[in-house]
Amino acid sequence: MSLPDRATMLRAFDTRDDSYDGVFWTAVKTTGIFCRPACPARKPKPENVEFFSSPKTALEAGYRPCRRCRPLEPTGETPPWLESLIRELESDPSRRWTDGDLRALGLQPERVRRWFQRHHGMTFHAYSRARRLGEAIGRIREGENVSRTAYAQGFESLSGFNDAFRKLLGKPPTGIDPDRVVRITRILTPLGPMLVGATDGALCLLEFVDRRKLETQLQRISARLRVYLLPGSNSITGEAERQVTAYFDRRLTEFRLPLEAPGTEFQQIVWSALREIPYGTTVSYGEVARRIGRPTAVRAVAGANGDNRIAILIPCHRVIGADGTLTGYGGGLWRKKRLLELESAQRDAFGV
């Protein structure tokens, strides 16, 4: 994998820019240690820093991993200090948590809050509450009455249960259609964590968590599909994780998942054309416009490309500028470059 120019990497390293996490790794000659770009450790002099495209190449050069930023762990992976809480949360999603409970596990509530805010867009207590409501919707779908569900999910009263539903979803539990719930969870990839979202019937979201327009995309999914977004997983998110993992491991070149991607008629036409671009190849925006019979709609094609909410599966990363330059990728141009390099290497190796 190619690296950005040295000046760019030094600037990112100096400012601890975590958007470059996964793009390169830094190694310090005087300590023999390599780190992530945003490692909080003390910064060395620029002349003592060198850069690598992967932890493997840093290890092969004789450097050892930093114990502070843990560069061998996948980007976005749950840190060891949080694992006990995640296990407790998954074993009993209905549990009501207090700051005292967190301290009893040896955790600082503020530290937990910051991690969940950064990786899930909400505090731990908000995430836990949303998980409880998600479990409640599942119970109601299975025929359990609302009162019994409220107490089973740790709510002390039916009115408190109804208020929590209204605050999060805008409706009481009896007004929620369980079939219109999108489960949202994180999956880890070599290019950083992604959010995956799906109803019980189709995938409707796959996007990198640091995408700038992510919050807007979530709002559009909620409005256009008339669904409710809740933390959790289902069979579709699980299968999406399996296939995405296989894709990055170079074991899969064609995805087989039901998709639900609402948009305008024009967007639907463009997204359909994107799915026809063969693995390991690229086309220009102008070529996509010609393929859909709208040769003058190049800018509109680029706009539809940018509004794609299902990255990789609807391969907008395979569309490039007319002069061959990489432009316009919501997940960051460095990711677009890495995806194309991955597919090109696989195509050349196996003649895909």
Q: What is the pLDDT of residues 254-296, one digit of tens each?
A: 999 999 998 899 999 999 999 999 999 999 999 999 999 999 9
Sign of CA dihedral 139, 140, 142, 145: positive
For domain 265-350, give the fold: Arc Repressor Mutant, subunit A (1.10.10)
State pTM to two decimals: 0.67
pLDDT single digits (tens) 63-100: 989 988 888 776 667 777 888 898 888 787 777 889 99
pLDDT band at 148 (very low <50, low <70, confident <90, very high): low
CATH 1.10.1060.10, domain 6-65, yes or no:
no
DSSP letters along 216-277, please? HHHHHHHHHHT-EEEE---HHHHHHHHHHHHHHTTS-SS----B-----HHHHHHHHHHTTS
66 belongs to the catalytic site: no
Q: Is 4's pLDDT higher than 70?
A: yes
Candidates 3.30.70.100, 1.10.10.60, 2.40.50.140, 3.40.50.10800; correct CATH number of 82-176?
A: 1.10.10.60
b/e map 150-178, b = 16+ CB within 10 Å: beebbbeeeeebbebbeebbeeebeebee
pLDDT single digits (tens) 215-262: 788 888 888 888 778 778 889 999 999 999 999 999 999 999 999 998
Q: Is 34 helix (H, G, I), strand (E, B) or coil?
A: strand
Domain map of the chain by residue range?
6-65, 82-176, 180-248, 265-350
Which one of the listed residues 35, 39, 66, 204 is annotated catalytic?
A: 35
The residues that bridge with 208 in the sheet, in sequence order, are: 194
Which one of the listed residues 39, 66, 69, 316 is annotated catalytic?
A: 316
Q: What is the 3-state secondary structure (H, E, C) of 260-318?
A: CCCCCHHHHHHHHHHCCCCCCCCEEHHHHHHHCCCCCCHHHHHHHHHCCCECCCCCHHH
Structure token pair of residue 80: 């060891």
Which segment of 7-21, 30-44, 69-83 scores lowest on mean pLDDT? 69-83
User: Nearest-CA neighbor of 64 among 29, 88, 97?
Assistant: 29
Do 265-350 and 82-176 have the same topology in CATH?
Answer: yes
pLDDT band at 149 (very low <50, low <70, confident <90, very high): low
Q: Is 47's pLDDT higher than 60?
A: yes
CATH code given to domain 180-248: 3.30.160.70
Q: What whole-number distance in Å separates Cα of residue 346 and Cα of residue 56? A: 19
Q: Rg of the chain's alpha carbons, rounded to an integer?
A: 22
Q: What whole-number distance in Å separates Cα of residue 70 and Cα of residue 36? A: 8
Bigger pLDDT: 300 vs 347: 300
